[in-house]
Amino acid sequence: MDIKKLIGQLTLEEKAAFCSGADGWHTEAVGRLGIPAVMMTDGPHGLRKVIYGKGSNWGGYGEKITVEATCFPTASCLANSWNVDLLRKVGAAIAKQAKKEQVSIVLGPGINMKRSPTCGRNFEYFSEDPYLAGKLAAAYVNGAQAEGVGTSLKHFAANNQETRRHSCSSEVDMRTLREIYLAAFETVVKEAQPATIMHSYNPINGKQVSQSKWLLNDILREEWGYKGVVISDWNAVNDRVKSLEAGCDLEMPWSYGLRDKAIVEAVRSGELDEKILDRTVERILNLVFSYPADENAPDVDLEKAHEEASKAGDECMVLLKNERNLLPLSSGRPVAVIGAFAKHARYQGGGSSHVNNKYLDDIYELIDKRNGAETFYAEGYRLGKDVNENDPDEALIAEAVETAKKAGRAIIIAGLPDSFESEGADRKNMAMPESHNKLIRRVTAEVKDTVVVLLNGSPVELPWLENTDALLAAYLGGEALGGSITRVLFGDVNPSGKLAETYPVKYEDTPAYLNYPGEEYKVVYAEGVYIGYRYYQKKKMKVAFPFGFGLSYTTFDYSDIKADGDKISVKVTNTGKVAGKEIVQLYVGAVRSRVSRPVKELKRFAKIDLAPGESKTVEFELDDRCFAYWDERTNDWRVDTGDYNVYVGRSSEDTPLCVTLHKVDPKPYIEPIHVNLSLGDLFSKDEYKAVRHDLVYPGLSEEQKKLLGDAELTSDFRFIRARHMWTLRMLIDNGSIDEKQLDKLIAEANRKLGF
């Protein structure tokens, strides 16, 4: 396909029309030139293809119906698997369903960082850690695109709240942006080249992302080498001409032709260089021809896909507590299943990612079947739009307590209902509905053998944790989560998920608490790089469950850490009686650093399968980025000379193995000497060695000179004991040198240093 030639045959109006959707979900077509429209549709954890209904325009309003598809676990749940192969498979499975439905682009995955556990859309995002989120999302994108379906990595960037998501400027310093909020996007772009990237609604540091050339072009394309199409989030464009110039190729959905007209006029008036328009159309046409709709795409068996969703769910369940080895449960004994979620599970989030699934596991039924003995049920709390889901229903709670007592053991299914967590709004706090909390408190007070299962898109406070001996975080596990829960509870599956986010003790403990969701049109990211575990560890805070934590029905021993250059190996042994999977985590922390850095940061991980008694050696290869921070002085990554601890273990807080590596900065940053340079820096930094004596000596008093003699000035010399308190300027105050002389000495020293 000669795309350049095609562009030559398009009229200016046709080219402008390509820059926005033909409707809510399609690109423009030009029949006379054989250019087809392609369809894009949500969403990250299952296909949400809108079929137009009565009164609907682009499918966002009015009556709308979506095709039946498989609802996989949401991103926050999938992330608990820490399994890149699984993510690849889920991406591929969703792509197959897209293909069958003639959909060319799936709008996902979403990889924004979980700055606060209360972001309403956290269920759609992976993690509080950019490395983990980047690796998992890259696998998803690669899996989907290998099936010939494009993806849309979203929402680029620093879109970490739903409150005023169109207008609230994320005020973030450059280092934090690079290390935390852009890093996952960078990984996916470099490792998977998503067909499209969806830019976010918000401004960053006052600049609307849709118009940020710095982000959409300079960083994304020039620095990271992105080749695909940048599309706007739905209705995210302020000024189409400016956004086109900045690098937003495709505005979605459309503006009834108004913005196309603006493009035409801007070209005619000379305000917009037509070359920019041509370059944009070229990218869009490349996309259209790279991901064509395939009328002969094979059919998809949704029943089989349900099995795939089920297998995915099995890897994502996180066992958080299991005192007295309460789990796995034995079958053949009465059990009470409590909580309306048991029959009306919350298994996916609300908003643009909502999937119309054909199949749905019934948690109660599956437990009943597996238990093979009397399985009682009590509603426990009310669900639904017509009730206040927060208020406890005393009668239901009393009934639940009686039911649990009758059975002698209970499984409570509780968590966050739809009304508590959805796209478009943030949670006000981290509390579960009081109706759920009270139910758990009352039942656990009466019946010791009670397991709590959480259905939640993000962390919640657990005020009853002490009373509960077993706790399973099942998250929003998709249409097949009932099966996964049952298999884990009864030990058919050994849980192998670990948290991709911290469970703080209380909302007030969270890093962004004082600055979330900001004041009207600004939200200051005052906590900087300290989000999630980076914050709790630095402040030595107690958390309910740390990042990377999750129990198994077996135990794993860590030993034999070895470093061979940047290759690290460790031995992991299954020391229990059942087979299990372990997520081996590697963190790096600088022993000393010029800038404030987290205690340790996740840099590698691997999920391994071990039979009882079996050992495996896990190898990791590190690179410079594992040790680097973003240096705002040079606008680049930097690894300072020094020692770095490499920790390996079971979670961010449980890293029994450690080895120290030494790194050398091949090109250390040298700051030119100036009057306010501290004497401490002058004498401790090697780069100033050649000039410090010449520079300081003339400024010393006679007495000081005598004291010093011809000796090399050292950092323990009495004059500079106060190190960073004293600066070169102080030499003037010594009375033996004036400003001009000092300036001259500084200029000479700088010349000698090569400035």
Q: Which residues bind ligand BGC (CB under 6 A)?
A: 42, 107, 154, 233-234, 352
Residue 48 or 600 having the CB closest to ligand BGC: 48
Residues 470/321, Cβ–Cβ less than 8 Å: yes
Write down the catalytic residue from 42, 233, 426, 640. 233
Residues 85/314, Cβ–Cβ less than 8 Å: no
- Residue 240 C-beta: closest distance to ligand BGC, Å: 18
- Measuring CA to CA, which residue among 411, 524, 519, 423 is closest to residue 470? 411
Residues 355/499, Cβ–Cβ less than 8 Å: no
Residue 208 or 652 having the CB closest to ligand BGC: 208
> Would you give the DSSP letter of residue 672?
P
- Residue 116 C-beta: closest distance to ligand BGC, Å: 18
- Residue 120 C-beta: closest distance to ligand BGC, Å: 11
- Measuring CA to CA, which residue among 408, 397, 399 is closest to residue 336? 408
Annotation marks residue 743 as catalytic: no
Residue 154 or 427 having the CB closest to ligand BGC: 154
Judged by DSSP in three states, 292 sits in: coil
Residues 456/415, Cβ–Cβ less than 8 Å: yes
Residue 26 or 154 having the CB closest to ligand BGC: 154
Note the Cα 331 to chain centre separation in Å: 38
- Measuring CA to CA, which residue among 452, 446, 491 is closest to residue 469? 452
Residue 49 or 135 having the CB closest to ligand BGC: 49
- Measuring CA to CA, which residue among 296, 352, 291 is closest to residue 38? 291
Q: C-alpha distances in angstroms, 638 versus 225, 413, 622, 634?
A: 20, 48, 15, 9
> Would you give the DSSP letter of residue 298?
P
- Residue 408 C-beta: closest distance to ligand BGC, Å: 46
d(CA 406, CA 651): 39
- Residue 60 C-beta: closest distance to ligand BGC, Å: 7
Those residues whose C-beta lies under 8 Å from the C-beta of residue 394, and which sit 6 or more positions away, are none
- Residue 421 C-beta: closest distance to ligand BGC, Å: 16
- Residue 160 C-beta: closest distance to ligand BGC, Å: 13
Residues 77/67, Cβ–Cβ less than 8 Å: no
- Measuring CA to CA, which residue among 569, 582, 651 is closest to residue 617? 569
- Residue 739 C-beta: closest distance to ligand BGC, Å: 59
Residue 76 or 552 having the CB closest to ligand BGC: 76
Residue 42 or 179 having the CB closest to ligand BGC: 42
Q: C-alpha distances in angstroms, 595 versus 326, 407, 633?
A: 46, 58, 12
Residue 234 or 644 having the CB closest to ligand BGC: 234
Query: 672 — alpha (psi -120 to 50), left (phi > 0) or beta?
Result: beta
Note the Cα 271 to chain centre separation in Å: 39
Helix then strand count (H, E) for the chain reads: 22, 30
d(CA 639, CA 626): 9
Phi, psi of 615 (to 5 degrees): -120, 150
Residue nearest to ligand BGC (CB): 352
Cα atoms in the 13 Å half-sphere on the side-chain side of 369: 11
Task: Determine the residue type at 426.
Answer: D
Q: C-alpha distances in angstroms, 637 versus 15, 243, 667?
A: 40, 29, 12
β strands within 467-579, DSSP E: 470-473, 503-504, 522-524, 543-545, 556-564, 567-574
- Residue 215 C-beta: closest distance to ligand BGC, Å: 17
- Residue 154 C-beta: closest distance to ligand BGC, Å: 5
- Residue 286 C-beta: closest distance to ligand BGC, Å: 21
- Residue 162 C-beta: closest distance to ligand BGC, Å: 9
Sheet-wide strand order for 657-663: 601-610, 580-590, 642-649, 657-663
Residue 124 or 393 having the CB closest to ligand BGC: 124
Residues 573/614, Cβ–Cβ less than 8 Å: yes
- Residue 146 C-beta: closest distance to ligand BGC, Å: 22
Pairing status of strand 642-649 against strand 356-357:
unpaired
Residue 88 or 154 having the CB closest to ligand BGC: 154
d(CA 326, CA 489): 10
Residues 646/563, Cβ–Cβ less than 8 Å: yes
Residue 149 or 439 having the CB closest to ligand BGC: 149
Residue 106 or 244 having the CB closest to ligand BGC: 106
The sign of the dihedral angle between the CA atoms of 324, 496, 545, 446 is: negative
Residue 96 or 154 having the CB closest to ligand BGC: 154
Those residues whose C-beta lies under 8 Å from the C-beta of residue 82, and which sit 6 or more positions away, are 132, 136, 497, 498, 500, 583, 605, 607
Active centre residues (catalytic): 233
